[in-house]
Amino acid sequence: MKIGIVGAAGRMGRMLLVAVGAADGAQIGGGVEALGHPDLGKDLGVLTGLNAVGVVLGSDARALFDAVDVVVDFSFPNATTAHAQIAQATGTALVIGTTGLNDEQQSVIRQASSFAPIVQAANYSVGVNMLLGLVEQAARILPEAYDIEIIEMHHHHKIDAPSGTAWALGQAAAAGRDVDLVDVADKVRDGIIGPRTSGDIGFATLRGGDVVGDHTVMFAGPGERVEITHKAASREIFANGAVRAAIWATAQNPGFYNMKDVLGF
């Protein structure tokens, strides 16, 4: 099975290449970067410190989709939207790890999934997806007197906030309480804001150093506090999960899937 990587020369892209190279039944089928990237033309295996694989880094996304069975995209919202349209035209499976997409971009991805299998997740870690299930269950069991706060910390290079994983955790909590997260999310607190609104789901964003990703969901109730935490020590967990999703996606019919589908939760 040939797997292609968008942003193959980047930090996450290189980890994905290594993960593909180590996966049974998969091979590096191609990789792309933007025009003018200094690594264009380099062998993708050599680029990651592996043996040469006979496939070089290119810049033509359409050619990548034509050459492989599935593409993995951890890039930027505008680029991912364009790649979803290519997936729609080619029928090539697509695995999306990009966060920060707006409603219009998400609609394009949904439309494309009618023509190609698309897996999209805010986080490809098995542990985080287990956390999502636990948070939904806890929110369903604990009464509204337990205030929900979501705290996340990432490295100082991260450009979106709250993180896609934090928002997914908020959606899980909202599902447990049978409410719409958009109606109860509290993402900004500054100045004299008054007492906390009952039923809100709060978000706190921390940035610093080289933190891969820490997420805690806190249920603060009368006389006690329940905290559920996941800490990522390496991006390898995301790469390995995404490759697992890629292999799974190639056997699916066109449709929109998430990591719960991949893991069979």
| Identity of residue 29 | G
Active site residues: 154, 158
Which residues make Cβ contacts (< 8 Å) with residue 115, sequence separation at least 6?
87, 88, 89, 91, 254
Structure token digits, residue 262: 């991949």
Burial degree of 191 (CB within 10 A; 0-12, 13-18, 19+): exposed
Residue 82 DSSP one-character state? H
**DSSP, residue by residue, 205-252:** EEE-TT--EEEEEEEEETTEEEEEEEEES-THHHHHHHHHHHHHHTTS
Q: Taking every pair of C-alpha atoms in the chain, what is the biggest distance, in angstroms? A: 62
